[in-house]
Chain A
Amino acid sequence: MTTDDEVIMLDTPIRLDYDFSAGEAQSRFLRGLTTGKFLGQRCPVCSKVYVPPRGSCPTDGVALAEDVELGNSGTVTTYCVVNVPFQGQSIEIPYICAQILLDGANLSFMGLIQEIPADQVRMGLRVEAVWKDPSEWGPTMASVKYFKPNGEPDADYDSYKEYL
């Protein structure tokens, strides 16, 4: 780029390719998704269940070895209403991005909420996972379409306040 006749900027694009490997714990979680299951791991010291698991307890620094199969139900601990469109988006805006604490887990993860008007989503909302057709399951969170309300009464604040 030039201003008048001077060169004042240069393009210096970079590209790096990686052969990424998920590690043992994350691979087990992703493999679980291929069978329609959420797998967490339990810490032998503090007994917390982490999902998705990373092979170590972030509090105690010990290896996690025990797989725990979690169900499909959980609680919305917090959420936001997204109005910003992005490139390649296939979801209608506004949409809800929420932190979902699966029953039995001690760590929430991010998910999409659908089948409820955006202004009715609230903390404590009880939800369940809506999976894609089993033929479309793969080692990816995209095997889950979204989470929808499951009709249960809202969870008590005390039951999830530590996960905010």
Chain B
Amino acid sequence: MTARADVRSGEQRPVAVVSFAQADNSRREVRRNEVEMLLPVVSEVLGRVGCTKDDMGFVCSGSSDYLVGAPFSFVAALDSVGAWPPMRESHVEMDGAFALYEAWTVLRAGDCDTALVYSFGRSSPSQLDRVLALQLDPYYMAPLWPDPIALAALQARALIDSGKATEGDFAAVASRNRAAARDNPKVKTELPDYTAVSRMLEEEFLVAPLRPHTVPPITDGAAAVVLAAGDRAREMCSSPAWIVGLDHRIETHALGARDLSASPSTRLAAEGAGLGSGRAAEVDVAELHAPFAHQELILCEALGIDPASGRVDLNPSGGALCANALMVAGLVRIGEAAERVINGSAQRALAHATSGPCLQQNLVCALADDPGDGEGS
């Protein structure tokens, strides 16, 4: 779905990210539960723009009950916002990036001017490899209980077989992301310190051809974003990160019916977001939700970004490879990219979020300091 004219007033109001906050991305949040983790994040994201929950016209969250092991756990999470007086609220059992998509459509429709989007997830209490097997086809794939590293490894092998990348390329991606993560105070996933590619290639395989440095750490985290439309955004933030394009595409869930060495849904989503035909390579910053190292290469190809060119600052946050809080990492990509537009270090940014095994579905968000900059606005 791409941007459409508002049917009510005929007005196309640009929508912007005006605030972003995230909890520390840690290996294990033992002390606090999900509500306790979210409280300071929600407080911070609203406080940065001088708002309270009562200023939000719509609240949308992204999380998964399977991580908590309890149905409707997202309802309890609303305690971190305070649901009185009754509010307009929604939820997606997906990464917060997709909750942001829903909030964006509500604002674009002119129903209200502000939205709070939040997401949270503690992967550490669950058996994450088993939880993720349950997102697979229940007849054909889930009964085999494949773990996410096994499926990612099949994709990595397909990429190597295609001749488009080598294990050395995977290690180079890991090395670059880890170096960036060291400068990110929100990444507290206790990553090893080495960066030499040769040493990384000596690690034993987890599931060949994937070694520990190519897979993300189990991560607990939470994040939130405030969206605002038109003049309201300008009141709340001196340099809003305008969403000038947003699109989400999905491929078949049958792994064996896909070309795992490419990402056609990312390419289509980029086109829908106004960043097709090489425009993605012209952004200043790109935050790509690639939990596995080889996936960053697949995404760059789909987007037309050449990592070696240095033109695009790729995953300056360290990316999902270094901190992958499930249900949160996609929203964090949007937040990190938006933050750089808000603070003036980037004029145009691209954020990507993924869901499903092996990049099955992909969302591309185009951000800019100018609301008129983009085919999708």
Determine whether A and B are in direct contact in the complex, meaning some CB atoms lie less than 8 angstroms apart: yes
Q: Check A17–B33 contact: CB distance below 8 A.
A: no
Chain A minimum-CB-distance residue to B69: A18
Q: How far is the CA of A14 from the CA of B134 in the complex (A)?
A: 9
A55 at the interface (CB under 8 A from B): yes
Contact (A16, B131) CB under 8 Å given A54-B79, A61-B82, A62-B82: yes
Q: Which of B34-42, B274-282, B320-328 contacts A (4 or more CB under 8 A)?
A: B34-42
Task: Say yes or no for B355: interface residue by CB 8 A criterion.
Answer: no
Interface string of A8-46 (1 = CB under 8 A from B): 001010101111111111100000000000000000000
Q: A23-B33, A58-B84 are in contact. Are A12 and B79 (CB under 8 A)?
A: no
Of A16, A61, A62, most B-chain CB atoms within 10 Å = A61
Is A63 interfacial (CB 8 A cutoff)?
Answer: yes
With A16-B131, A56-B39, A61-B82 known as contacts, the answer to whether A26 contacts B125 (CB < 8 A) is no
Asked if B32 lies at the interface with its beta carbon under 8 angstroms from chain A, I say: yes
Q: Does A158 belong to the interface (CB within 8 Å)?
A: no
In which size bucket is the chain A interface? Answer: 20 to 34
Partner of B32, one of A16, A23, A58, A60: A23
Q: Are B83 and A59 in contact (CB under 8 A)?
A: yes
Contact B36 A60 (CB under 8 A): no
In the complex, chain B residues 79-124 whose Cβ is within 8 Å of any chain A Cβ = 79-84, 124
Is B344 at the interface (CB under 8 A from chain A)?
no
Of the candidate stretches B137-145, B239-247, B301-309, the one touching chain A is: B137-145
**Chain B residues within an 8 Å CB radius of A14:** 134
A63 to B38, CA, bound (A): 10
Closest to B122 in A: A21
Chain B minimum-CB-distance residue to A21? B30
Residues of B within 8 A of A56 (CB): 35-36, 39, 79-80, 82
Q: In this complex, what residue of B is CB-closest to A19? A: B125
Cβ-defined contact, A57 with B124, below 8 A: no
In B10-57, the 8 Å CB interface with A consists of 30-36, 39-40, 42-43, 53
Give Cα A26–Cα B32 distance, bound, in whole angstroms.
10
Chain B residues within 8 Å of A60, by CB: 82, 84
User: Chain B's nearest CB lies how many Å from the CB of A61?
Assistant: 3
Cβ contact within 8 Å between A58 and B83 = yes
Minimum CB distance partner of A15 in chain B: B130
B191 within 8 A of A: no
The answer to whether B125 and A18 have CB atoms under 8 Å apart is yes
Partner of B139 from the list A10, A26, A58 (CB cut-off 8 Å) is A10
Q: For residue B83, which residues in chain A have a CB less than 8 angstroms away from its CB? A: 58-59, 61
Q: A57 to B138, alpha carbons, bound, how many Å?
A: 39
Cα A63 to Cα B82 with chains together (Å): 10
Does A58 contact B69, Cβ atoms closer than 8 Å? no
When A16-B66, A59-B83, A62-B82 are in contact, do A54 and B76 touch as well, CB less than 8 Å?
yes
State A136–B139 Cα separation when bound (angstroms).
47
Partner of A55, one of B33, B78, B134, B142: B33
User: B residues within 8 Å of A by Cβ?
Assistant: 30-36, 39-40, 42-43, 53, 66, 68-69, 76, 78-84, 124-127, 130-131, 134, 138-139, 142-143
Q: Which A residues lie at the B interface, using CB under 8 A?
A: 10, 12, 14, 16-26, 54-63
Closest 5 CB pairs of A and B: A61-B82, A23-B33, A18-B69, A59-B84, A56-B79
